[in-house]
Structure formats: structure tokens, C-alpha cells
């Protein structure tokens, strides 16, 4: 663990759990683990359960994240939720540009840049997701794709904000597929992203930005992934839906 970067273990529940299920998960997780000081646990429930989850997360080291937001503060955007509303609900983080948003809902790099700026504008922290498709990896384009996504998402930020960004490297071929990147594959891309941050901003920003890995993280691979120097946490989908499994991920050993 790098002392400049407190690890984040984040649960992305996607379109799962009722309000009651979400609230009891949040209570059970805290009861089983207790307060956290050397790492953060973050839960990203569906919007419907956000209020219940943010009220239930009472202990030090636990916070709520949204899975998405709109970039405008208000207006005629049927079905959308703004960052002001998310702040109101007690969110600390907002996932931006998850691969399901990019590839199922057609989000562009420009939308993701605007969302990132909106999250900061309302006092929350973006968790910006980047990652290549399998065809892009096979064509040797991973660095190009990831660099473009990082560059665009962070465009216009000054260093003071940039160092607060959380990035999540999630190779699309590893999400929900059971096919995890090896620790070495993940480390290679994380190190590349850190170098990119140094050239976009400076060494201090690069050293402070937390870069999470996501893609089929499970209790049995988390320790090996977290042992890599540039992996500062995990963004977890499927294995975050059961308390026992997410608890083990939060309690990774490095």
C-alpha cells in the first residue's frame, strides 16, 4: 500500500437489490468488518436504494457512490439524475464512464469529460472508468485507447482537482466474464496510466491519483492483484453482491 493512496474497495451493484436488501447489506457489512482507517469501502447501489444506503453507512471508512449522473444541473432530461441531486442523497463518489455506460448506452468521451467536471463542481469525487475491448487489446491498441480515454476525461482539470480523481482500469473483456486480467497485465496498464498522468499534470498528481482495477475481481484473486505496486483498489461487480464475498475483498491482505 502506498501511503499517499488509501485503497478503495468499491461495490458496483449495477441493477441489483431492493431498498431493504441494500440497507441490510450495508448494515451487515459494517457490523462484520467494523470501522476502516487504512482503506475505504464504497457501495454504489442503484439510485432507488441510494438514500437507504447512505443513511445506513455510518462507520468511518464507508461511503456511497452513484453509478452514473447527468452533466447538467437541471432541465428537460427525462430519466436522468444530476450531481446536485446525488450530493443531496449523501453520495461521496460517482462512477463515470463505466464500460456498460460507454458500450450499451453510447456514452462518448466528451460526455464523460462533462460528467467528471459536474461531479467535481458539486463537491463529490469521480471514479472514472477506462478500458479497452478485447479486439483492441488483440490489435495492440490498449495503451492508445486508455490514453485517449484518460486524456479526454481529465481535460480542463487543474492539478488540484486532478489529484483527487479516482480512475478505474476495467478491461472490457474482463468485466462479468470470469476472465480476470493477470496481476502483471493490470500492473502494466496501471503503470502506463500513472506515467500518462505525470505527462498530463506532474509527478505529484501521478503519485496521488488512486487507480482501481476492475474485471472479475473475486475473494481468491484480490490479494494477488492488490500486491501490485500501482493497483490502489478494486471496483467489483458480481462479487460485491454477497456480504461474505465483498467483505473478504474489503479485507484484502497485501
Give the catalytic positions in this structure.
98, 170
Nearer to ligand PEP, 214 or 233 (CB): 214
Asked whether position 237 contacts ligand PEP by CB under 6 A, the answer is yes
Nearer to ligand PEP, 142 or 216 (CB): 216
Q: Site map for ligand PEP, 179-218, x if CB under 6 A?
A: -----------------------------------xxxx-
Specify whether the CB–CB gap between 84 and 122 falls below 8 A.
yes
Asked whether position 221 contacts ligand PEP by CB under 6 A, the answer is no
Total residues at interface with ligand PEP (CB under 6 A) = 13
Please name the residues in contact with 247: beta carbons below 8 A apart, sequence gap of 6 or more.
29, 32, 33
Asked whether position 176 contacts ligand PEP by CB under 6 A, the answer is yes
Please name the residues in contact with 189: beta carbons below 8 A apart, sequence gap of 6 or more.
142, 143, 146, 169, 171, 181
Q: d(Cα 247, Cα 41) in Å, to the nearest integer?
A: 9
Question: Cell 462518448 identifies what position?
Answer: 108
In the complex, minimum distance from the CB of residue 6 to ligand PEP, in angstroms, rounded to a whole number: 20
- Look up residue 7 and give its three cell numbers: 485503497
- Residue 100 burial (CB count, 10 A): 21
- Site for ligand PEP, rule CB under 6 A: 12, 170, 175-176, 214-217, 235-239
Amino acid at each position: 500500500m502506498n501511503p499517499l493512496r488509501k485503497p478503495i474497495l468499491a461495490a458496483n451493484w449495477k441493477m441489483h437489490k431492493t431498498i431493504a436488501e441494500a440497507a441490510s447489506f450495508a448494515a451487515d457489512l459494517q457490523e462484520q468488518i467494523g470501522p476502516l482507517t487504512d482503506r475505504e469501502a464504497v457501495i454504489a447501489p442503484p439510485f432507488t436504494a441510494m438514500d437507504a444506503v447512505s443513511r445506513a453507512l455510518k462507520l468511518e471508512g464507508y461511503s456511497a457512490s452513484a453509478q452514473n449522473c447527468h452533466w447538467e444541473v437541471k432541465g428537460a432530461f427525462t430519466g436522468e439524475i444530476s450531481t446536485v441531486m446525488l450530493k443531496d442523497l449523501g453520495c461521496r463518489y460517482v462512477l463515470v464512464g463505466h464500460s456498460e455506460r460507454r458500450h450499451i448506452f453510447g456514452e462518448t468521451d466528451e460526455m464523460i469529460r462533462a460528467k467528471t467536471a459536474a461531479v467535481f463542481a458539486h463537491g463529490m469525487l469521480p471514479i472514472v472508468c477506462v478500458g479497452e475491448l478485447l479486439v483492441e487489446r488483440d490489435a495492440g491498441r490498449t495503451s492508445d485507447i486508455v490514453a485517449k480515454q484518460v486524456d479526454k476525461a481529465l481535460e480542463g482539470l487543474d492539478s488540484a482537482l486532478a489529484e483527487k480523481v479516482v480512475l478505474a482500469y476495467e478491461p472490457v473483456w474482463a468485466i462479468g466474464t470470469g476472465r480476470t486480467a493477470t496481476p502483471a497485465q493490470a500492473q502494466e496498464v496501471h503503470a502506463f496510466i500513472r506515467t500518462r498522468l505525470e505527462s498530463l499534470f506532474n509527478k505529484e498528481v501521478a503519485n496521488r491519483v488512486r487507480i482501481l482495477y476492475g474485471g472479475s475481481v473475486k475473494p481468491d484473486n484480490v490479494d494477488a492483484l492488490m500486491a501490485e505496486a500501482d493497483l490502489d483498489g478494486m471496483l467489483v461487480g458480481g462479487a460485491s453482491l454477497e456480504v461474505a464475498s465483498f467483505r473478504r475483498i474489503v479485507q484484502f491482505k497485501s
